[in-house]
Amino acid sequence: MIGVGILGAANIANKNILGITLADNVQVVAVGSRDKAKAEAQLERCGLAGAVAAYGSYDEVVGDPRVDAVYITLPAALHLPWVRKAAAAGKHVLVEKPVAVDGVELDAMLAACADAGVQLMDGTMWSHSPRTERMAAILRDPAAVGELKAVTSAFTFYGKQIAAGAGDFLKNDVRVKKDCDPLGALGDLGWYCVRGILWAYGFEAPTSVTAHAGAAFNEEGVPLHIGATLLFSGGRRGHFECGFDRALTQSLEVAGTLGTIQLNDFVIPRSVKQSSFVVTGEHGLRDCDTWDATRRDEVVVHLAKPQEVCMWERFGGLVQHIQSGGQPDAFWPRITELTQRVLFAVERSAREGCREVRLSL
């Protein structure tokens, strides 16, 4: 069993503690917060009080010899020092998204993990869902949706709703604070949209990114809602919109010449037992038709385990592989880097009048 130490007591940690607990090859061995009482309260909430070490510092977690890997839930602006310390201590790293606040910090984290030979992975759960694998298989079938042309994604929620009982989200949440998560909605929500677009195109890098008009920033300059078009070779496109300004949507559509894949719960599935998506097929719609009989097949995927458990089992397996003499899997830090660099380009385009930002990745 791989021992995981958790840095921080963010809400997302609750979900991951459950995910780790349900996974076959990992276990929580320590939780650290700057306030020991918070760490203890979190273990209490998860039914692990007494069974797992509660620390009043992150250093103690990193230093615990039972900790093989750390899970960093801290705001993005605090990631770098703890990724560095963890890597230096030979600990593998699963870090929440967004991973970095700028390119310099991203490079430093990637280098720290590569130099130390530890696995780096970001906390994008849907990447690990069996549904995602099923969709990928369909995209690989040239007779299904055909040649890909456009991927469209949106992830939004209304900040004030989330904040019920917690004050004004748009003023107080860590995700709109420049010194915590300066990418705001782009880092918190756009991360998934960009990852979805990149995933559909097999993690090919876009050639350029152009923000859509109308992005909004708060007084601290943090993006509250923002969108962009990503251009890929051969005229293929990705379009996304994200924001804290409107009701929950979480959609992904991959459109090819022959059909599409569509789902409206791509980040957080509507059920933990099974997930579905729709595959639309070739149509014969003519101008004179009064209804659209395009084929729409719902594909239902049974989920033996929730996607967060799948993520932790995959991460645990990579760590076990390294402990047995193998090398870190370069795929995961590569897609972390690509996702993050596209986000930086989107932010830059939006701040610079929606100009086209060329990428060389």
Residues 271-330 that bind a second copy (CB under 8 A): 271-272, 280-294, 306, 308
* Cβ-based nearer residue to a second copy, 66 or 296: 296
Strand, coil or helix: 110: helix
* Cβ-based nearer residue to a second copy, 66 or 246: 246
Provide the 8-state DSSP code for 75: -
Instruction: Tell me how far CA of residue 104 lies from CA of 107, 128, 341, in angstroms.
Output: 5, 28, 11
User: To the nearest whole angstrom, how small is the minimum distance from the Cβ of residue 54 to a second copy?
Assistant: 18
Query: Looking at beta carbons, which pairs linking 260-267 to residues 24 or more positions away fall under 8 Å?
Result: 260/145, 261/135, 261/138, 261/139, 261/145, 263/131, 263/135, 266/126, 266/153, 266/192, 266/196, 267/125, 267/126, 267/155, 267/192
Instruction: Out of 89, 108, 138, 268, point to the residue binding a second copy (CB under 8 A).
Output: 268
* Cβ-based nearer residue to a second copy, 217 or 344: 217
Residue 114 sits in the site that holds a second copy (CB under 8 A): no
Question: Pattern of binders to a second copy over 54-73, x per CB under 8 A?
Answer: --------------------
The continuous run of DSSP H or E covering 185 comes out as helix 184-185
* Cβ-based nearer residue to a second copy, 146 or 317: 146
* Cβ-based nearer residue to a second copy, 141 or 325: 141
* Cβ-based nearer residue to a second copy, 84 or 149: 149
Instruction: Out of 237, 314, 334, 351, point to the residue binding a second copy (CB under 8 A).
Output: 237
Residue in 136, 135, 93, 142 with CA at minimum distance from that of residue 332? 93
Instruction: Tell me how far CA of residue 316 lies from CA of 3, 204, 212, in angstroms.
Output: 9, 26, 39
Any alpha helices (H) in 23-126, and if so which ranges? 36-45, 58-63, 79-88, 103-116
Residue 233 sits in the site that holds a second copy (CB under 8 A): no
CA dist 72 and 66 (Å) reads 16
Q: Report the amino acid identity of residue 131.
A: R
Task: State the pairing for strand pair 223-231/237-243.
Answer: antiparallel
> Are the CB atoms for 122 and 210 separated by under 8 Å?
no
User: To the nearest whole angstrom, how small is the minimum distance from the Cβ of residue 119 to a second copy?
Assistant: 24
Residue 265 sits in the site that holds a second copy (CB under 8 A): yes
Instruction: Out of 65, 213, 219, 304, point to the residue binding a second copy (CB under 8 A).
Output: 213
With contacts defined by CB under 8 A, name the span among 31-39, 62-70, 135-143, 221-229 that binds a second copy.
221-229
* Cβ-based nearer residue to a second copy, 250 or 340: 250
Question: Pattern of binders to a second copy over 332-361, x per CB under 8 A?
Answer: ----------------------x-x-----
Q: Which of residues 5-24 bind a second copy (CB under 8 A)?
A: 10-12, 14-15, 18
* Cβ-based nearer residue to a second copy, 119 or 152: 152
CA dist 310 and 356 (Å) reads 37
Q: Which of residues 133-162 bind a second copy (CB under 8 A)?
A: 145-146, 149-150, 152, 154, 156-158, 160-162
